Amino acid sequence: MPTRRAFLGQTAAVLGLAASGRQVSAASHTPVNLTAREASVQLAPGGYPATSIWGYEGRAPGPAIRVLQGERVRRRLVNDLPEPTSVHWHGIRIDNAMDGVSGLTQEAVAPGQAFDYDFVAPDAGTYWYHAHNRSWVQVARGLHGPLIVDEAEPPEVDREETLVLDDWLLDPETALIDDSFDQPMRMSHGGRIGNLITTNGRFDLSIPVARHIRMRLRLINASNARIFPLQLAGLQGWTVALDGMPLAQPEPLEDVLFLAPAQRADLIVDVTTEAGETAHLVRIGDDDQPASQVAFPVTGSTAQTPRAAPMALPPNPGAGIRSLADARPLRLVMSGGAMGRMDSAFLGGERLGFRELAARGRFWAFNDIAEMTQAPLADLSLGEPVRLEIVNETVFPHAMHLHGMHFREIREGSPVGPMRDTLLVAAQETRTVGFIADNPGDWLFHCHMLSHAESGMMTWVRVT
């Protein structure tokens, strides 16, 4: 099996050949199409019918988009869906005009129309792209895919796998996607939790490996609402990056890794189990029982070379916030949901009771407002440090995602947490993050349990 570096070397050689050819210049100006369309795929086990999905290039996950750090991503979104759509490039410190948020940074692209995305990927790491118009419907139907930005000097591994974790809510008889997206019970509780769990679109993903190889696993949680509690079995591993951003030091993964919706984790793992056995990426099920998320049957053994723990990935350019001196204090109070104490909130400038809000499909509020507001949560000056307190008054966890900038968690007054773009805030918990408002534009800040976002948990900040 070639190492990653050898593989990159091969690619460069191939590109080198092509560059001396003639067809290249024309091709480099036309973006590659990314067509959002309906397709039929076999998701459920054999014996069940195929499922009609919406996917990029008719696949879910969509094709992996891969560039070298600092390169441009160019894609022409072609909308072959029956409704408008747009693409958000989750976690990229992107030019605001390319952020893909329908109604905020661009108009949704109508059926039959196209839109050219063209942006630089400044940070190496594991990112993803997904629909950002009616996303609680469109992402659940399958509109998402990996976006991988390679380091100039990637770590030495024998193999690399991108693993897109997802769940699907299917009709158990027909295997069709359950289309009760606005079902109040789910919206007001944990969100849309699926009944078929997949990795890369397969419920039984199995990747044969040899003993002693070292792999890089790029985990992406693309589900609407499921938090994946993950563990390793027959693998020794380290977390080397979260939400794309390298950790200062690899952290041994001995306990459970909670991967909330939209979060990513890069792991480096060594296959330790014997040939003939099977190693697993384990998911702790709702019943607390371990289940196989991905199986790694061990079919042979490479020579055992003693290996040191992996080194840290090369750091990305923006180091994030280092000090809170002069940081602007902001506060976001999340309320609502089933069993919550929200008895009213503002909608369309009017204070409405919980039942009236529920009748309008609003179950949650940010700072007492049950919708995306005209005015931003904050008007920030470019370069301003921010200290944002997130108060979860609800009895559900929420995966809070900031567009356009990564933050660090503040603990005991210092911004010491890893750089992240999505933070899981547990029920009744208060967490504080800090970031530098160093990317101009209008940036969403919302819960990535997507039906929560739709039913009240969405706001934005403006950086000028």
Which residues of this protein are in contact with Cu ion, per CB under 5 A?
398, 447, 449, 452
Task: Return the number of the residue (408 or 448) whose C-beta is nearest Cu ion.
Answer: 448
Examine residue 144 and tell whether it contacts ligand C2O (CB under 6 A). Answer: no
Choice from 214, 283, 401, 431 touching ligand C2O (CB under 6 A): 401
Query: Per CB under 6 A, which region of 263-271, 277-285, 364-372, 441-449 contacts ligand C2O?
Result: 441-449
| Distance in Å, CB of 139 to ligand C2O, minimum | 8
Give the residue at shortest CB distance from ligand C2O: 90
- What is the b/e burial string over 69-94, where b = at least 16 CB atoms within 10 angstroms of the residue's CB? beeebbbebbbebeebbbbbbbbbbb
Letters for 96-135 (x = contact with ligand C2O by CB under 6 A, - = none) are: ----------------------------------x-x---
Measured between alpha carbons, how far is 349 from 16 in angstroms, rounded to an integer? 60
Letters for 403-422 (x = contact with ligand C2O by CB under 6 A, - = none) are: x-------------------
The two three-digit tokens of residue 70, written as one number? 């600092």
Q: Which does 447 bind (CB under 5 to 8 A by kind): ligand C2O, Cu ion, none?
A: Cu ion
Task: Return the number of the residue (310 or 441) whose C-beta is nearest ligand C2O.
Answer: 441
Task: Return the number of the residue (73 or 453) whose C-beta is nearest Cu ion.
Answer: 453
Decide: 54 and 38 in contact? Cβ < 8 Å: yes
Examine residue 143 and tell whether it contacts ligand C2O (CB under 6 A). Answer: no
The two three-digit tokens of residue 200, written as one number? 């890369």
DSSP string, 267-309: EEEEE-SPTTSEEEEEEE-TTS-EEEEEEEEEEEE------PP
Q: Which does 147 bind (CB under 5 to 8 A by kind): Cu ion, ligand C2O, none?
A: none
Task: Return the number of the residue (90 or 406) whose C-beta is nearest ligand C2O.
Answer: 90
Query: Per CB under 6 A, which region of 27-35, 284-292, 383-391, 440-448 contacts ligand C2O?
Result: 440-448
The upper half-sphere exposure of residue 447, i.e. CA atoms within 13 Å in the direction of its Cβ, equals 38
| Distance in Å, CB of 29 to ligand C2O, minimum | 29
Task: Return the number of the residue (124 or 262) whose C-beta is nearest ligand C2O.
Answer: 262
The two three-digit tokens of residue 34, written as one number? 């990314």
Task: Return the number of the residue (141 or 448) whose C-beta is nearest ligand C2O.
Answer: 448
The two three-digit tokens of residue 216, written as one number? 């890089």
Decide: 121 and 74 in contact? Cβ < 8 Å: no
Give Cα 120 distance to the centre of its chain. 18
Choice from 4, 88, 159, 398 touching ligand C2O (CB under 6 A): 88
Letters for 258-287 (x = contact with ligand C2O by CB under 6 A, - = none) are: ----x-------------------------
Task: Respond yes or no on whether the N-terminal peptide bond of residue 310 is cis (omega within 30° of 0).
Answer: no
| Distance in Å, CB of 48 to ligand C2O, minimum | 29
Decide: 458 and 363 in contact? Cβ < 8 Å: no
The beta strand positions in 315-381, using DSSP E, are 328-336, 344-347, 350-353, 364-366, 378-380
Indicate the pairing of strand 328-336 with strand 384-392: parallel
Examine residue 90 and tell whether it contacts ligand C2O (CB under 6 A). Answer: yes
Residues 6 or more apart in contact with residue 431 via CB below 8 angstroms: 389, 390, 392, 409, 423, 425
Residues that bind ligand C2O (CB under 6 A): 88, 90, 130, 132, 262, 401, 403, 444, 446, 448
